[in-house]
Chains A and B, each alone.
Chain A
């Protein structure tokens, strides 16, 4: 069975601090995909990144970076120099590489960035 664990329920930081959101996953599939979504107070889920199981390269996009490590089944997300607009709930998700490719979500981490 697939499972995603986001152990941090809530994180609060001060603007300009760096913050890392943890994600640990479980799957028996050899082909799978990992995602991060952002859910701001408005409620709509916004896609941030997709990673497939064959590509362990880390990725950086502006202030966002992702560290994918198959050895520890982790896909952590770091925001550098956080801003108030980064305040949201962040979800990590896993999809198997066959069938419906439905997303299995973690419980989410609520990030609050204070001015």
Chain B
């Protein structure tokens, strides 16, 4: 158990819908990262937050957005869902912004868009 929690574990929805994925980082971690992993694909970095502020952006679509709240939990919002958005979405957290911090991953949310 990494200490990172994600809810829900599974999500099934229809095209065009909007969903929110939630992540609580490990106690003491200030950085939160979101990743997408499609079937047989590598980890695609989406976005990073540090202490409530957006820090880095990866391959995140405009239909997707995220935020980190004062209690450091984070939410990833996915809207106008398409079939191709079906994937595992991982959240990871780490202690520091810079340096050699290790990312610890949550169990993931499996999103299925029908």
Judge: A and B partners, yes or no: no
**B contact residues vs A (CB 8 Å cutoff):** none
**A contact residues vs B (CB 8 Å cutoff):** none
